[in-house]
Amino acid sequence: MQITVDEDKCCGAGQCVLLAPEVFDQREEDGIVVLLDSEPPAGEHDAVREAAAVCPAAVIRVTG
C-alpha cells in the first residue's frame, strides 16, 4: 500500500487522524493533514482505506 495526500485541498476535518493515528496527524497551526507513514504495515491498511473513504475533501489517495 502506498499513500499520498494533497495538503493543498485538506480541510482539516481530522477524520483520518481519528481512524488511523499511526499513519496520519495534523499540523498544530492549521489542522492540515500530515502523512506519518506513506507505506504503513498491513495492520493499518483497513483503517487507512476507511480514512480515505470518509475524508470530506477526498485528499487521501491509496494505491496497491
Give me the pLDDT at residue 36, please: 98
The CATH number given to 2-63 is 3.30.70.20
For the chain, domain boundaries:
2-63
Q: How confident is the prediction for the chain on average, in pLDDT?
A: 97
Q: What is the pLDDT of residues 5-43, one digit of tens each?
A: 999 999 999 999 999 999 999 999 999 999 999 999 999
Contact call for residues 6 and 50 (beta carbons, < 8 A): no
Q: What is the rounded radius of gyration, in angstroms, for the C-alpha atoms of the chain?
A: 10
Q: What is the pLDDT of residues 34-61, one digit of tens each?
A: 999 999 999 999 999 999 999 999 999 9
Percent of the chain with pLDDT over 70: 100
